[in-house]
């Protein structure tokens, strides 16, 4: 994702890349970010010092892993830099630190940087609210065979969208054995892993006489990079307005 963001940013007149951060033993440390990303020389060397890499920038975009998140968050707060993050699988402790950071700097965290997914969540809230208790709700997500966490952060995001208008819904992650009849308050959340699937999400609304499916299919990883850059441009203007923002805020 970092390389995808670099490629798109290199062709965006509104964005100027000034730093790049990777793990301390990453093979590309010291190399030019543009050359690694296939975007030509950008004059930006990849470095391991998170705090140093943030100096002088208007906003930082984080697409890392849960174990690295706290360090980049700490560096963003220390340098008073707005933070856009798409890192999923955060622990409760990291989520608490994110909430604390939002009292000091602008932060925009989203489990999926696709603008289309944000619209999908709005449709889910509307459909679940209007269809009511007669319709069962199930979520199915599919990702590539190297994805480490399940369910996906996006599936959880969609689950929470449904629960925001039906607080009786209780998540069930998969079913096996003699589980008995489905309870009306269940919301099934199911993960599929295989091949090179970028990210598919479906919300099924199943009534007694019909069914509705709300689907989103990612067909290129640049989808998420484009959303992250959109969020970064928007959040940079909030530099002096600390708070926890959402990608949906950029749609208005």
| Same-domain check for residues 47 and 124 | no
pLDDT at 136 over 80: yes
Number of CB atoms found within 10 A of residue 244's CB: 14
Residues 71-92: what's their mean pLDDT? 93
| Same-domain check for residues 97 and 156 | no
**Mean pLDDT score of the chain:** 93
Taking only the tens place, the pLDDT of each residue in 18-51 is 888 888 778 888 898 889 988 889 888 888 877 7
Residues 157-182: what's their mean pLDDT? 96
- CATH number of the domain enclosing 133: 3.30.360.10
Q: What is the pLDDT of residue 22?
A: 86
Asked whether the beta carbons of 216 and 120 are under 8 A apart, the reply is: yes
pLDDT at 148 over 90: no
Top pLDDT among 160 and 89 is at 160
Taking only the tens place, the pLDDT of each residue in 235-244 is 999 999 999 9
CA distances from 107 to 160, 191, 194, 224 (A): 20, 29, 33, 17
| Same-domain check for residues 122 and 148 | yes
| Same-domain check for residues 95 and 159 | no
- CATH number of the domain enclosing 36: 3.40.50.720
Q: What is the pLDDT of residue 45?
A: 86
pLDDT at 54 over 80: no
DSSP state of 57: -
CA distances from 31 to 23, 61, 231 (A): 13, 19, 27
DSSP state of 139: E
Taking only the tens place, the pLDDT of each residue in 190-234 is 999 999 999 999 999 999 999 999 999 999 989 999 999 999 999
- Candidates 122, 66, 50, 51; CA nearest to 98 is 66
| Same-domain check for residues 207 and 132 | yes
Phi, psi angle pair for 128, to nearest 5°: -65, -40
pLDDT at 252 over 80: no
| Same-domain check for residues 212 and 233 | no
> Total structural domains in the chain?
2
| Same-domain check for residues 109 and 225 | yes
Number of CB atoms found within 10 A of residue 121's CB: 25
Q: What is the pLDDT of residue 147?
A: 92
| Same-domain check for residues 82 and 28 | yes
Residues 93-118: what's their mean pLDDT? 95
pLDDT at 1 over 90: no
| Same-domain check for residues 22 and 102 | yes
With H, G, I as helix, E, B as strand and everything else as coil, classify residue 51: helix
Phi, psi angle pair for 250, to nearest 5°: -80, -10
Separation of alpha carbons 126 and 207, rounded Å: 16
| Same-domain check for residues 197 and 246 | no
pLDDT at 161 over 80: yes
Residues forming the active site: 143, 147
Q: What is the pLDDT of residue 42?
A: 87
Separation of alpha carbons 124 and 127, rounded Å: 5
Where residue 14 falls among pLDDT bands split at 50, 70, 90? confident
| Same-domain check for residues 92 and 146 | no
In the chain, the N- to C-terminal Cα span, in Å, equals 25
Q: What is the pLDDT of residue 232?
A: 95
Residues 85-95: what's their mean pLDDT? 92
Q: Are strands 106-109 and 243-245 parallel, antiparallel or unpaired?
A: parallel
Show the domain range for 158: 115-217
| Same-domain check for residues 225 and 109 | yes
């Amino acid at each position: 994702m970092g390389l995808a963001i670099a490629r798109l940013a290199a062709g965006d007149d509104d964005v100027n890349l000034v730093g790049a951060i990777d793990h301390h033993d990453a093979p590309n440390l010291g190399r030019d970010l543009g050359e690694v990303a296939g975007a030509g020389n950008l004059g930006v060397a990849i470095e391991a010092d998170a705090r140093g890499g943030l100096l002088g920038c208007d906003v930082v975009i984080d697409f890392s892993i849960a174990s690295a998140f706290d360090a980049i968050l700490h560096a963003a707060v220390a340098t008073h830099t707005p933070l856009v993050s798409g890192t999923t699988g955060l622990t409760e402790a990291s989520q608490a630190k994110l909430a604390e950071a939002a009292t000091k700097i602008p932060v925009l965290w989203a489990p999926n940087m696709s603008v289309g997914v944000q619209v999908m969540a709005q449709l889910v809230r509307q459909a679940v609210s209007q269809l009511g208790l007669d319709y069962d709700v199930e979520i199915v997500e599919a990702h590539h065979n190297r994805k480490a966490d399940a369910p996906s952060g996006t599936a959880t995001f969609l689950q929470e969208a449904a629960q925001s208008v039906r607080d009786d819904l209780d998540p069930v992650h998969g079913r096996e054995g003699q589980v008995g009849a489905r309870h009306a308050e269940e919301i099934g959340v199911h993960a599929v892993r295989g091949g090179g699937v970028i990210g598919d999400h479906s919300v099924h609304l199943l009534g007694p006489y019909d069914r509705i499916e709300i689907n989103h299919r990612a067909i290129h990883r640049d989808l998420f990079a484009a959303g992250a850059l959109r969020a970064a441009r928007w959040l940079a203007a909030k530099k002096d307005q600390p708070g926890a923002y959402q990608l949906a805020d950029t749609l208005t």
